[in-house]
Amino acid sequence: MTAKIEVSVEMVDKYIDCIKKGKAAGIDGLTVEHVMYSHPALVSTFCSDYARFVSEMHTMMITFDQSFD
Residue 28 domain-assigned (yes or no): yes
Residue 6 domain-assigned (yes or no): no
Q: Residues in the chain, how many?
A: 69
Q: Total structural domains in the chain?
A: 1
Helix (H, G, I), strand (E, B) or coil at 5: coil
Q: If you ran DSSP here, which 8-state letter would residue 67 be given?
A: T
Residue 29 domain-assigned (yes or no): yes
- What is the average pLDDT across 54-59? 82
**Per-residue pLDDT tens over the stretch 10-46:** 888 888 889 899 999 999 998 989 988 989 898 888 8
Residue 17 domain-assigned (yes or no): no
Residue 8 domain-assigned (yes or no): no
Residue 14 domain-assigned (yes or no): no
Q: Which domain does 47 fall in, by range?
A: 23-66
With helix as H, strand as E and coil as C, how does 21-50 read? CCCCCCCCCCCHHHHHCCCHHHHHHHHHHH
- Cα Rg, the chain, nearest whole Å: 16
The whole-number pLDDT of residue 28 equals 92
Q: What is the reported pTM?
A: 0.58
